[in-house]
Amino acid sequence: MKFKRAGLVTKIVILAIILYAGISLVSLKVQVSDARETREELQSKVDGVLQTNTELQYAIDHSTDPDTIEDIARNKLGLVKPGEKIFYDVNN
């Protein structure tokens, strides 16, 4: 059985297919890289939200704790116990 030599048209078609496959692979590599970056950004956002949720859940669980209530009254509302005096440093 004898094989015929590939003609010029066949060689051009094969070369075009190889070029197309190479360009497609490079394009896919770029898309995968972009997807990984997006995934990492989203994962960092998810981690931040989970941390916030944990802090909020802690605040909810300890909302009836007398020390927590006192801390909120002092720091956020500016309240003091009877007989206490607050001194403010005005030098700064």
Q: Does 9 score more than 80 pLDDT?
A: yes
Q: How far is CA 9 from CA 6, 38, 45, in A?
A: 8, 43, 54
What contacts 79, CB < 8 A, 6 or more positions away?
A: 73
Provide the greatest CA pair distance for the chain.
111
pLDDT for 55 equals 94
44-75 pLDDT, tens digit each? 999 999 999 999 999 899 888 888 888 888 88
The structure's pTM equals 0.56
**In the chain, alpha helices (H):** 8-61, 66-75
Instruction: Round to whole Å and give the CA distance between 13 and 59.
Output: 68
